[in-house]
Structure 1
Amino acid sequence: MTSAAHHSPHPAKADALMDDAHADLGVDAEADGRRLDRAALRRVAGLSTERADVTEVEYRQVRLERVVLVGVWTSGTADEAERSLAELAALAETAGAVVLDGVIQRRDRPDPATYIGSGKARELRDIVQEVGADTVICDGELSPAQLVRLEEVVDAKVVDRTALILDIFAQHATSREGKAQVALAQMQYMLPRLRGWGQSLSRQMGGGAGGGGMATRGPGETKIETDRRRIHERMARLRREIAEMKSGRELKRRDRRRNSVPSVAIAGYTNAGKSSLLNRLTGASVLVQNALFATLDPTVRRATTPSGRSYTITDTVGFVRHLPHHLVEAFRSTLEEVAEADLLLHVVDGAHPAPLEQLASVRAVIRDVDAAGVPELVVINKADAATPAALAALAEAEPHHVVVSARTGQGIDTLRQLLEAALPHREVQVDVLIPYVAGSLVARVHADGDVLAEEHTADGTLLRARVAPDLAAELSAYART
């Protein structure tokens, strides 16, 4: 069966990926479509976004819908290599693809030319043609040269793991900040590949010498330099926008700290059940899907402990092994919600075959965003689906844990109690008589402090409570002498 790369080019006007992110990056050349289509992921019908190579506005419409996966196993066990490829399959399906086959090659390190070696690349070409795939997805980040060479050998479009994850993030970002962060990460990823393709294109097109017209003039360096400058300008603009949005979020955090509202952040591997847990703890109705990266934009909700103390709880983006560093950098401002928290609920899927690997992957990102010092409570989720042996192994590895099922409610009351005990306690004890006309102060003490005793008298409300220093200062006018 012939692969999609044999089909004749079919130019079509591409929609901008988001806002004006790529609108000014068109080209005027009808060069080899397969070469220029590097890392361009196409959606199946009905999905909301299409992805175009940043150097190309007219392109072949090849949908990323029939794929073969390929991984290079350089270390660890065969089971670990197969789990990594299974996760890549889940990522591909999240992007709208149908996985037809998957292969793993054992090597000391990836081949610098073709990722898997020229002989294996030819075998891969045969598999691609046999199953009728249009795309190969590699379980790693490939260099521009590896992408070019592997695509030439297998005669089909090649996408790496990083481009695939970026594409999923582009589909799922909904807020203005989320979209800006994803666009920035995409451009950081594309920039060196733009340079690699430009050099390849210049060699192919002849560099402009002679009188051969458009076929030999070569858009080459001049065009590439123009595109590169425009991308840098757009990246600078996105960084300014993200910085402004970060300032707004910092103001909100300062307000919460001033009002002494403790904060809790939920973090964990993608699809561990973080949004379901948030819904259980707050009664919110955050989107819950059995899909990778269903939550991208941080969701902040207010909740109360069993004793009535208020706190905020934030659901963050799910992590995944080998999360592209472009994304970690782009989402750093969002992930600061974790670094600023008083408590981290680290959710792990108790039914997953390798939960300890997932815990390690998440903690690596937590270290990257300088949040390693935040107190952590491991929440072993999906207890209703996990085996007793798996739960016992996790409990032994993570002494500070609680076992729950966000789906059934099992263990949620215990989690609430542990959460309350872990939140910072107030520093100042006050004994005050608050007149009824100042009833809003009583409400604030209940919301933001720890009420130890309360009595209603003819003159007002007698309160003994532990509160933050700034609230204690406001209450000092009503102190009992």
Structure 2
Amino acid sequence: MTPVIICGADLNQPDFDYTMQELANLAEACDMEVKNTVIQKLERPVSASYVGRGKAEEIKTQGKIHDAKILIVNDELTPMQIRNLGDLTDMKIIDRTALILEIFASRARSKEAKLQVQIAQLRISLPRLHTDNDKVKLDQQTGGGGGSFNSRGGGETKLEKDRRVIGKRISILKKELKDIEEKQNVTRKQRDASGLRSVALVGYTNAGKSTTMNGLLRVCGKDDDKQVFEKDMLFATLDTSVRRLHFKDNKDFLISDTVGFVSHLPHQLVQAFKSTLSEAAKADLLVQVIDVSDPNYCDMIKTTETTLKEIGVENIPMIYAFNKADLTEAPYPEILGNQITYSAKDPASIEKIVELIKENIFKDDRIVTFKIPFSEGRYLDELNVRGTVLETTYEEDGTVISANVSPELHSRLSRFEMH
């Protein structure tokens, strides 16, 4: 593992210690070993170098002691701060944004995720283009002196060229991403047309969303070869997986496992992954998976809800699923209102989650009796597929069928309802 020093400016933020621990975890996820943590209490970060010269000297000394050539900073830095802090410490500077991007880049598997990460990386690189060599180029174009505007050459500075190239590359990648999104929208519209309700697992990275989903698939899935990737690591997957769960009472719903969140997730990444998180935005129910064994789980809940709000996911019913109870003294599985304490590795817990999800997502369903003419057989097929049929009888002018149906299906078939 690569030895690194981590650094943060304590501005008296209530969650400072939590974010510093999180930074260390992010570094470890990037195969780095944190050798020392340097903190400076400040009213505001130093505009030129983030920390003061004295603290920078301390960091430089710690770097030499631990043979660490990389400094990771717990904030998003300006290009000037990165340059100056690097000069003061003789270390390579990686800020929080760049670190998270590096992790995302290493975890991206699908073409969509790779494109999203590349776009975010390029957007972040634009303001960080160096102008050091540009002055020489500009002086050459203007004759090196004060001259008039008309005496300037018509050439393009290296900085301008780099910006233009990056801007063009972003446009190309965004077009590729849009093509993928359009294909996914077709699939999503087909699912919407089926009338299936959808549930999205959301929450902090490594809280156990994928483990929970795989547990649900083992209990209610149609086959085991659709298990999603799971591993005890931050951002194990960046792709949204959608599966269909089937129950004996003919009640099916779709469930999606979304990318995990982390505090102070870079705005560029939030924007880039909006399409990936659209499954959550269109869900009928959210299940927020929370690692209750982590002492910072309350901060994680805030992080999740802040990020959801930022991407426009609001006013969707939510279940709070407190996972990893097996690592605590809390009794499980236990349901209290819209909360469940459980362990994703415990079959009895998964059964309880299924019970709670069904109770929430099908709560507006009702039993209705319809008489469907024989000439309208397609509606009978739809009722058998999308409803829970309780009783069927046949009369001269049609089929009388009692079924448990959703409000949407009831509305579609309301003209056949018997009163």
Task: Please state which band the TM-score falls in when normalised by the shorter chain.
Answer: 0.7 to 0.9
2:261 corresponds to which of 303, 308, 319: 319
SS at match of 1:373: coil
SS at match of 1:333: coil
Residues 88-107 of structure 1 aligned to structure 2 (within 5 Å): 88-107=23-42
Deviates more, 1:80-89 or 1:107-116: 80-89
Unmatched segments (≥5 aa) in structure 2: 145-154, 219-225
SS at match of 1:314: strand
How far did 1:409 drift? 2.9
1:112 corresponds to which of 35, 47, 64: 47
Partner of 1:422: 360
- Aligned mates of 2:267, 2:214 — CA distance in 1: 30
SS at match of 1:228: helix
- Aligned mates of 1:207, 1:307 — CA distance in 2: 77
SS at match of 1:294: coil
Deviates more, 1:262-271 or 1:380-389: 380-389
TM-score (norm 1): 0.75
Residues 48-447 of structure 1 aligned to structure 2 (within 5 Å): 65-76=2-13, 80-194=15-129, 197=130, 199-203=131-135, 207-208=139-140, 222-283=157-218, 284-305=226-247, 307-388=249-330, 400-424=338-362, 425-426=364-365, 429-432=368-371, 444-447=382-385
SS at match of 2:275: helix
Partner of 2:386: 448
- Aligned mates of 1:227, 1:274 — CA distance in 2: 41
Structure 1: which amino acid aligns with 2:370?
Answer: D
Deviates more, 1:352-361 or 1:98-107: 98-107
SS at match of 2:157: helix
| Superimposed CA distance per residue, residues 436-472 of structure 1 (whole angstroms, 9 cap, x where no aligned partner) | xx6x976753542233x22477999853114458766
| Superimposed CA distance per residue, residues 149-187 of structure 1 (whole angstroms, 9 cap, x where no aligned partner) | 000011011100100101111111111111111111111
Q: 1:474 to 1:288 in 2, by over 3 A?
A: same
Q: Is the 8 A contact 1:142 1:160 kept in 2?
A: yes
1:465 aligns with 2:403: yes
Residues 28-43 of structure 1 aligned to structure 2 (within 5 Å): none
Q: 1:458 to 1:432 in 2, by over 3 A?
A: closer
SS at match of 1:411: helix
Q: Is the 8 A contact 1:306 1:417 kept in 2?
A: no
Structure 2: which amino acid aligns with 1:362?
Answer: T
| Superimposed CA distance per residue, residues 336-357 of structure 1 (whole angstroms, 9 cap, x where no aligned partner) | 1111000000111010111111
How many pairs align?
Answer: 398
Unmatched segments (≥5 aa) in structure 1: 1-43, 45-64, 213-219
| Superimposed CA distance per residue, residues 249-298 of structure 1 (whole angstroms, 9 cap, x where no aligned partner) | 22222222221100000100001000001101113421111100002010
- Aligned mates of 1:94, 1:434 — CA distance in 2: 62
Q: Is the 8 A contact 2:134 2:157 kept in 1?
A: no
Deviates more, 1:123-132 or 1:466-475: 466-475
Q: 1:122 to 1:467 in 2, by over 3 A?
A: same
- Aligned mates of 1:75, 1:204 — CA distance in 2: 43
How far did 1:412 drift? 2.0
TM-score (norm 2): 0.85
- Aligned mates of 2:137, 2:50 — CA distance in 1: 26
SS at match of 2:38: strand
Deviates more, 1:102-111 or 1:302-311: 302-311
Deviates more, 1:136-145 or 1:458-467: 458-467
Q: Is the 8 A contact 2:202 2:289 kept in 1?
A: yes
- Aligned mates of 2:280, 2:156 — CA distance in 1: 43
Higher strand share: 2
How far did 1:399 drift? 5.8
How far did 1:301 drift? 0.5
Q: Is the 8 A contact 2:366 2:406 kept in 1?
A: yes
Q: Is the 8 A contact 1:266 1:313 kept in 2?
A: yes
% identical equivalent positions: 35
- Aligned mates of 2:83, 2:229 — CA distance in 1: 39
- Aligned mates of 1:107, 1:305 — CA distance in 2: 57
- Aligned mates of 2:291, 2:340 — CA distance in 1: 12
- Aligned mates of 2:401, 2:337 — CA distance in 1: 38
Q: 1:247 to 1:468 in 2, by over 3 A?
A: farther
- Aligned mates of 1:325, 1:374 — CA distance in 2: 23
How far did 1:388 drift? 3.1
- Aligned mates of 2:318, 2:46 — CA distance in 1: 40
How far did 1:74 drift? 1.1
Q: 1:203 to 1:479 in 2, by over 3 A?
A: closer
Deviates more, 1:374-383 or 1:92-101: 92-101
- Aligned mates of 2:11, 2:156 — CA distance in 1: 37
- Aligned mates of 2:381, 2:39 — CA distance in 1: 61
| Superimposed CA distance per residue, residues 11-46 of structure 1 (whole angstroms, 9 cap, x where no aligned partner) | xxxxxxxxxxxxxxxxxxxxxxxxxxxxxxxxx7xx
Deviates more, 1:408-417 or 1:335-344: 408-417
How far did 1:231 drift? 0.8
- Aligned mates of 1:288, 1:461 — CA distance in 2: 47
